[in-house]
Structure 1
């Protein structure tokens, strides 16, 4: 008999709002290492964006998706052992990345 706590729970097909989605998003990021990889990717995105704007080196903008999603996907595939929510909920997941970073930096959730 399998332990039900190890089974992935199916997500609802639709969410009425981001507020409804965010608890699901956090549950998909329960692993500390995975969350920290997300934070690294998000902070790297901000750093690259600032550098591109300051230096007007616009080709750096091409690196943004690789920096942001690269770290996050490593977290999902190797530590969470789940598929990124980005595949099913791209806009809410993008928003979730930034809200989760804000919540970690303000102490609302564990860093």
Structure 2
């Protein structure tokens, strides 16, 4: 009986871990695609970045601190955005540079993606 309980607990832990992994990887790609397709255009100035500690396909995912200005508004706001950056792309994402962004309003929250 205890073996069955242990096997059940291990099976549940594996399923929960797999669901969390899929949500974190596939879910992030789905969210990004939605923001890029439906989001409002703007321009961001990169204030700085830090590594998230996550690597995907040998490439680092970095968290960028940004000042964003939407094309439809005259005000700026601060935001963060995570993005996978390949070593060849690194010169395009330096502090002080401007990059296009897409912003999607999700209730009170704004979701920002660097293009």
With CA pairs under 8 Å and 6+ residues apart, which has the higher RCO, 1 or 2? Answer: 1
How would you bin the TM-score normalised by the shorter chain?
under 0.3
* TM-score, scaled relative to structure 1: 0.24
Between Structure 1 and Structure 2, which shows a larger proportion of helix residues?
A: 1
Larger radius of gyration: 2
* TM-score, scaled relative to structure 2: 0.23
